[in-house]
Amino acid sequence: MALHESEAIVLQSYALGEADRLVSFLSRAAGRMRGVAAGARKPKSRFGSTLERLSYVRIWYFENPTRELVRIRQCEMIESFLDAFRDYDSSVVLSILSEVSLAVLPDHEASDANFRLLLLTAQTVKRTGKADLPLAYFALWTVKLGGWLPPLDCCGFCGVVLPEGAPVFIARSGSAVACTKCRRPGMRTISPVARSLASKMLAERLDRLSEPADAASTRAAREVTAIMLDVIEQQIDRKLTSRELLEPTA
Ligand SMILES: [Zn+2]
């Protein structure tokens, strides 16, 4: 059995047997995986709080190629998100981050872009206590990195360029964006402010974007989130349970 070391983000952990934990984590070097942390539920366990959701850790684990589960030997905390989970709005967003990552990221396939996206989003929620912009950014980029985002600036049917402010429609699965003429039944509208915010988010890092300053830009962020979470749900073919905790968009 080989011993591996990586940075990782804990996505979820469950009680297993009398004293152990079953842990899903995103390894920076090896992608999403699952492992057993023996004795993690004993008082004074050497794992401490490192296995809490979204903990950013350095992890050491043994991997046996014939077994699906790795054996987690040790974890060291790099950054904890426990405090951020104590705030309700932040905790809803952080739960969505972990649920989406569990649902869309393939097993054992490293993606540095997805790793950095998850970490940067969680850190921004923790630092600012604000949820709307980070969640919109995360949902949009998850769709983009999944290869499910059509170009937002031209019609996928007739190819016409869609100028800023033009009415634009998008399929719920994200398969296409359409102009007014090519609009298909079941497509939803993207408002001009939401489309412009999405373009900005595709061009800038999250920590360089400013928080929505008024109700209209908050609505735009929520609209981007709603559209992108719909695309994700279509792609994974089920509803995200943590999404139900979000305030409904007006
Ligand atoms: Zn068209």
Predicted confidence (pLDDT) at residue 221 exceeds the cutoff of 90: yes
Does 95 lie in the same domain as 44? no
Domains identified in the chain, total number: 2
- Ligand 1 mean position, distance from CA 226 (Å): 23
Would the pLDDT of 50 be above 80?
yes
Give the Å distance between the CA of 137 and the centre of ligand 1.
27
Give the Cα separation of 147 and 134 in Å (integer). 20
Do 60 and 27 touch, CB atoms closer than 8 A? no
Please give the pLDDT value at position 250. Answer: 45
Full residue range of the structural domain in which residue 16 is found = 2-80
Of 45, 60, 80, the residue that ends a domain is 80
Ligand 1: distance of its center to the CA of 179 in Å? 4
Q: Indicate the residue among 80, 98, 128 that finishes a domain.
A: 80
Give the strand pairing for 20-27 and 31-37: antiparallel
Residue 153 Cα, ligand 1 centroid: separation in angstroms?
11
CA of 220 to the centre of ligand 1 (A): 24
Q: Does 106 map to a domain?
A: yes
Q: Answer yes or no: do 143 and 98 share one domain.
A: yes
Residue 249 lies in a domain: no
Higher pLDDT: 249 or 161? It is: 161
C-alpha 183 to ligand 1 mean position (Å): 7
Same domain, 95 and 30: no
CA distances from 175 to 9, 23, 120, 133, 226 (A): 30, 34, 27, 24, 16
User: Can you give the CATH number for the domain in which 11 is found?
Assistant: 2.40.50.140
Identify whether residues 108 and 141 lie together within a single domain.
yes
User: Residue 234 C-alpha to ligand 1 middle, in angstroms?
Assistant: 23
Q: Is 41 inside any structural domain?
A: yes
**Contacting residues for 184 by C-beta, under 8 A, at least 6 apart:** 169, 171, 176, 178
pLDDT at residue 87 tops 60: yes
Same domain assignment for residues 6 and 114: no
Q: How far is the CA of 158 from the centre of ligand 1 (A)?
A: 4
Residue 95's domain is classified under what CATH number? 1.20.1440.120
Percent of the chain with pLDDT over 90: 84
How many angstroms separate the alpha carbon of residue 154 from the centre of ligand 1? Answer: 8
Q: What is the pLDDT of residues 198-211, one digit of tens each?
A: 999 999 999 888 88
Asked if 23 and 89 sit in the same domain, the reply is no
* H or E segment and range at residue 177: strand 177-178
Tokens 């989003």 -> residue: 121
150 C-alpha to ligand 1 centroid (Å)? 13
Are 96 and 197 contained in the same domain? yes
* Residue 66: predicted pLDDT: 87
Centre of ligand 1 to C-alpha 145, Å, is 25
Q: Per the domain annotation, does 250 fall within a domain? A: no
Asked if the model's pLDDT at residue 214 lies above 60, the reply is yes
Do 172 and 94 share a domain, yes or no?
yes
Are 49 and 117 part of one and the same domain?
Answer: no
Last residue of a domain, one of 53, 80, 107: 80
- Separation of CA 157 and ligand 1 centre (Å): 5
The reply to whether 123 and 26 lie within a common domain is: no
Ligand 1 centroid–CA 201 distance in Å is 24
Distance (angstroms) between ligand 1 centre and the Cα of 151 equals 13
- Of the listed ranges 93-97, 106-110, 121-125, 210-214, the least confidently predicted one is 210-214
Query: Do both 105 and 227 map to the same domain?
Result: yes
Please tell me the distance between residue 170's alpha carbon and the centre of ligand 1 in angstroms: 11
User: Is the domain of 75 the same as that of 115?
Assistant: no
pLDDT-derived band of residue 175, with 50, 70 and 90 as boundaries? confident
What's the gap in Å between 159 CA and the centre of ligand 1?
6
**Residue 29: how many CB atoms within 10 A of its CB?**
13
